[in-house]
């Protein structure tokens, strides 16, 4: 089950019309590290495939995601690891 921060991330990234979106809460792996919060939801790994990324550099894609999630980054998301792909770059099964 995902928490409220993960759900906000999912809702905001819907603006990119993803064909695949996977959000991993890795907070437990970072317990005791800088930025970790006892309640979790501080460290995320996001895999997103979106047609809006076609023709964009990795930097442009990541900037787009960071702009959408600016409030979450200010409010306690300490780490955000991104995999941003255009549909023709996605080699995931399924």
Domain ranges of the chain: 18-89
What does the pLDDT read at residue 34? Answer: 57
By C-alpha distance, which of 43, 4, 44 is closest to 21? 44
Model confidence pLDDT, tens digit, residues 47-68: 999 999 999 999 999 999 999 9
Q: What tokens does 50 get?
A: 């979106």
For domain 18-89, the CATH superfamily is BolA-like (3.30.300.90)
**Separation between Cα atoms, residue 62 and residue 57, nearest integer Å:** 9
What does the pLDDT read at residue 93? Answer: 75
Output the pTM of the full model: 0.83
Count the residues in the chain: 94
Contact 51, 14 (CB under 8 A): no
């Amino acid at each position: 089950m995902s928490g409220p921060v993960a759900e906000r991330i999912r809702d905001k990234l819907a603006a990119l019309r993803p064909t695949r979106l996977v959000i991993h809460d890795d907070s437990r792996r970072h317990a005791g590290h800088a930025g970790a919060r006892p309640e979790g939801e501080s460290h995320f790994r996001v895999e997103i495939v979106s047609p809006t990324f076609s023709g964009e550099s990795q930097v442009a894609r990541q900037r787009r995601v960071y702009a959408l999630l600016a409030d979450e980054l200010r409010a306690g998301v300490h780490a955000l690891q991104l995999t941003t792909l255009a549909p023709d770059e996605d080699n995931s099964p399924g």
